[in-house]
Copies of this chain bind each other. A is one copy, B any other.
Amino acid sequence: MRVDGRDRDELREVTITRDFTKYAEGSILISTGDTKVICNASVEESVPYFLRDQGQGWITGEYAMLPRATESRNIRAAAKGKISGRTKEIQRLIGRAMRSVIDLDKLGERTIWLDCDVIQADGGTRTASITGAFVALIDALDYLLEKDKIDEMPVKSFIAATSVGIIDGAPALDLCYKEDSSAQVDLNLVMTEEGRIIEIQGTGEENPFTQQELDKLVELGEKGIKELIRYQKEALGDKAELLNQKEDDNA
């Protein structure tokens, strides 16, 4: 029995609200249980210095938490004058995950920023950020398509992310903060709709784990991610169909 009564393989309640703020090309509020993240996608008509004049685009992620997203207040990164290692890790992870399923050549010489700002944190903020950011990214790409700035959706696959872990000796899906802080093993997974792994980051600091346990965790994660992609598609409605069709064409 889990701390919030869920089954071992059960996600928390998921809601994805599109057009949450009015200026961003894509703006999502995603909640998974009590974790709530605003994911804004912004199009910038230039690329970073290292990509100038190479005819391709770039996608990058930023992540932050409101000071009081958590049980006790955290000092702002800006007030400390530096970004924590944890935040940088998450920012790099979001960027890599998004780039992994986008054809950057078809994006053209522009950057899409994915700002994930956690307004309430109850575990799994990095994976919720990725799941939400992907929807914001689709909206921003659709904006570019509508404006005739790109010719086709440069998306190779749907992706989503979740955490899995070993609690009291057994695997569990989508850990809340209480579970996360007492888990023997903690693993974050980013996967495509087809169940292919984009990122796997697992740590058994408290308790090294076996390859058999790893396999069970990956399978549990895959189950959760496929459900999350169903929520993404539901939120996107017709736009998701458009993407599916394109994927069929590719097939």
Binding site for B on A (CB under 8 A): 21-24, 27, 34, 36, 38, 40, 42, 44, 62, 64, 66-71, 73, 76-79, 81-86, 88-89, 91-92, 96, 99-101, 113, 115, 117, 119-120, 157, 187, 191-192, 194-206, 208-211, 214-215, 218-219, 222
Contact = CB atoms under 8 A, between A and B. Distances in A.
Given A23-B68, A82-B82, A100-B204, 4 more contacts: A78-B82, A197-B209, A197-B214, A200-B200
Given A22-B120, A23-B71, A62-B76, A203 B199 contact: yes
A40 B71 CA distance: 12
A24 B96 contact: no
Contacts of A85: 85, 88-89, 91-92
B204 A198 contact: yes
Contacts of A214: 197, 200, 214, 218
Contacts of A208: 100-101, 157, 191-192, 194, 196-198
Q: Which of A24, A191, A209 has the most CB of B within 10 A?
A: A24
A96 to B, nearest CB: 5
A21 to B, nearest CB: 5
A14 to B, nearest CB: 17
Contact of A215 (B36, B192, B199, B215): B215
Given A62-B79, A196-B209, A209-B196, A21 B69 contact: yes
Contacts of A203: 96, 198-200
Number of copies: 6
11 contacts: A23-B70, A40-B68, A62-B67, A62-B76, A79-B83, A96-B203, A100-B206, A117-B119, A194-B208, A199-B203, A201-B202
Contact of A120 (B21, B78, B187, B192): B21
Taking chain A's interface residues, is the majority helix, strand, or loop, or is none over half, making it mixed?
A: mixed
A81 B82 contact: yes
A204 B196 contact: yes
A21 B198 CA distance: 32
B73 A76 contact: no
